[in-house]
Amino acid sequence: MGDSGIEQQVKVLAEQWEKLLQSNKLNICTKQLEGATVLEVNILKIVGRNPDIILREISKLLNIPSSTLTSAVNRLERKQLLKRIISERDLRSFGLALTDKGKQALDEHYREEVVIINSMLQVFDDSQERGNFIRLFKKLVDNII
């Protein structure tokens, strides 16, 4: 395929991407996480999956400077969604733990994600189409990150 072919595909994909984002159908804004940034939600997810993870590890996982992480963690602490703890693995470092409110907010967020992902998969005619979409989406993600 020549350059004009890929340029046209980029144009079509960009238009569809914009249309999807503008529809607000992918917005997973639960009441408890209202106003939270994507970064803040990602931090909550990482902490939820990795008990006693230390700040340095989160910074590395998200590829962000420690100052950016500290600001986000401060906001999440003010919202009482997580708390700093002394790491059991490394007593010289701070870890993070979800509060009960943070656990509830994350559970609610995951339930909403499942609803949205389910509705996305329902547009396909059968299991084979869904499988193809998942395989291609995984390929895309694996090659971007």
Tens of pLDDT along 30-82?
778 888 888 999 999 999 999 888 999 999 999 999 999 999 999 999 999 99
Q: What is the pLDDT of residue 15?
A: 92
> For position 1, what pLDDT does the model report?
46
Confidence at 3, pLDDT banded by 50, 70, 90: low
Q: What is the rounded CA–CA span in Å between residue 105 and residue 139?
A: 30
pTM, two decimal places: 0.80
Provide the pLDDT for residue 75: 96
Q: Which residue in the block uniquely carries the two structure tokens 């390929």?
A: 139
> Percentage of residues in the chain with pLDDT exceeding 70?
94
> Does the pLDDT value for residue 137 go beyond 60?
yes
10 Å Cβ neighbour count for 143? 7
Non-local (6+) Cβ contacts of 87 within 8 A are: 52, 54, 93, 94, 95
Q: What's the CA angle centered on 72, arms 107 and 74, to 5 degrees? A: 95
Residue 26: per-residue pLDDT: 67
